[in-house]
């Protein structure tokens, strides 16, 4: 396993992301409310550039005609066909067995580091 420096943590504030190429792989690094997550930039559906997608909340499962907003700032939506993932778990929202490839992230001496 190799450690890859992404950026200074202060350059990746909450609600932002950075897409980097590490060891030839396109990887999205996200700051969700102060926690960092690294996801492979390839949707499990059709390999679309999922990490480029909009980050938002979603509507949680509900009764008909009811809208329950939730997971604000945690949902990554693939720009190709709209599949939704929880950034913090890498899981697809309707089928948790469909997960994006994820990598451990640490903050080391103020640096965001991804282990590949």
Partner 1 sequence: MSTLSRPEEQTASEKAYRVIDTDIHHSLPSWEALQPYLDEPWRTKIVAPNSRVGGLGVEAGRSRLDSTPPDGGTPGSDPEFLVQQLIVENHVDIGILTGNIYGWNVHPNPEYANAVIAAFNDYTIDKWLTPHDQLRGSITVNANDPEAAAAEIDRLGPRDDMVMVIIGATSTSPYGQKYYHPIYEAAIRHNLPVGIHVSAAGTGIAHSATAVGTPRTFFEYHSGLPRIYMTQLISLIGEGVFEKYPELKWVFIESGVVWLPHVMWRLDKEWKGLRREVPWVKRPPSEVIKEHCYFTTQPLEEPPNEDWLLQIFDMINGEQCLLYASDYPHWDFDALHVLNHLPPNYRRAIFQDNAQRLFNL
Please give the residue ranges that form the binding site for partner 1 (CB under 8 A): 45, 58-68, 78, 81-84, 93-94
Q: Which is nearer to partner 1, 31 or 92 (CB)?
A: 92
Angstrom distance (rounded) from CA 101 to CA 67: 30
Shortest separation between residue 54's beta carbon and partner 1, angstroms:
11
Q: Which is nearer to partner 1, 67 or 109 (CB)?
A: 67
- Give the distance between the most distant pair of CA atoms in the chain: 49
Shortest separation between residue 20's beta carbon and partner 1, angstroms:
27
Angstrom distance (rounded) from CA 44 to CA 74: 18
Shortest separation between residue 57's beta carbon and partner 1, angstroms:
9
71 touches 84 (CB < 8 A)? no
Angstrom distance (rounded) from CA 99 to CA 43: 9
115 touches 39 (CB < 8 A)? no
Q: Which is nearer to partner 1, 23 or 67 (CB)?
A: 67
Q: Which is nearer to partner 1, 15 or 82 (CB)?
A: 82
Shortest separation between residue 48's beta carbon and partner 1, angstroms:
11
């Amino acid at each position: 396993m190799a450690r890859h420096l992404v950026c200074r943590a202060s350059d990746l504030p909450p609600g932002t992301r950075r897409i980097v190429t590490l060891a030839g792989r396109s990887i999205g690094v996200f700051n969700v409310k102060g926690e960092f997550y690294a996801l492979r930039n390839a949707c499990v559906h059709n390999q679309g550039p999922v990490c480029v997608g909009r980050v938002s909340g979603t509507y949680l499962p509900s009764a008909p005609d009811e809208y329950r907003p939730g997971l604000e700032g945690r949902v990554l939506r693939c720009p190709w066909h709209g599949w939704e993932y929880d950034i913090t778990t890498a899981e697809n929202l309707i089928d948790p067995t469909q997960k994006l490839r994820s990598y451990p992230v640490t903050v080391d001496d103020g640096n965001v580091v991804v282990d590949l």
